[in-house]
Amino acid sequence: MTVDKTPLLTRRGILGAFAATALVSAPVYANATGFLRGGGDIRRIRMFSGRTGERIDMIYWIEGEYIPDALTEVNHFMRDWRRDEATNIDARNIDIMAAAHNLLDVDEPYMLLSGYRSPQTNAMLRRRSSGVARNSLHMQGKAADLRLQSRSVGQMARAAISCNAGGVGRYSRSNFVHMDCGQIRNWGS
């Protein structure tokens, strides 16, 4: 008689079960910062930067608690790469990005185009483009401009809007979506 020594539960299997539970339950809740609350849940963020070549793929929240080291890593990853300056990224914005990503049901990480912007970088970008706000939430660590190759701007924006938790801008010509944790609003086409 042979005994099967294959473990019944693996870490990957457990995380997959939690992720599937979150994805199934996500449409029931309206607020991105609250839709994953409950026993045994996790939040994960996956991004890469074409500017720096860096990648992150991490669980940043477990069972009602943010993981400080993970948030520190997100702060560094989302820094103003032009000036190599970081700030504290608002965890609510990370929640919105993660919630929208879960709703899109993709394995592909976000491409981060812009996270934190220093006032100097924001002013420089305003001189180059009329689409950059003078008091941009990027300068407060409360916004991100994101892209996915496998999803359209419209699909990404609809997922973010369904979180009912902040601002969502569609920038179809530039192929990205702005997500922030400011007032609930949306714009663009």
Q: Using one digit for the tens of pLDDT, what is the confidence trace for 81-95?
A: 999 999 999 999 999
The whole model's pTM is what?
A: 0.78
With beta carbons less than 8 A apart as the criterion, state whether 145 and 176 touch. yes
The strand pairing partners of 58, in sequence order, are: 45
* Domains of the chain (ranges, CATH numbers): 11-188 (3.30.1380.10)
Residue 26 dihedral angles phi and psi, to the nearest 5°: -55, -45
The pLDDT > 70 percentage for the chain reads: 79
Lowest mean pLDDT among 26-40, 60-74, 136-150: 26-40
- 131-168 pLDDT, tens digit per residue, is 788 899 999 999 999 999 999 999 999 999 999 999 99
> What would the mean pLDDT of 10-15 be, rounded to a whole number?
46
Q: How far apart are CA 181 and CA 104, in angstroms?
A: 19
Q: What is the pLDDT of residue 12?
A: 47
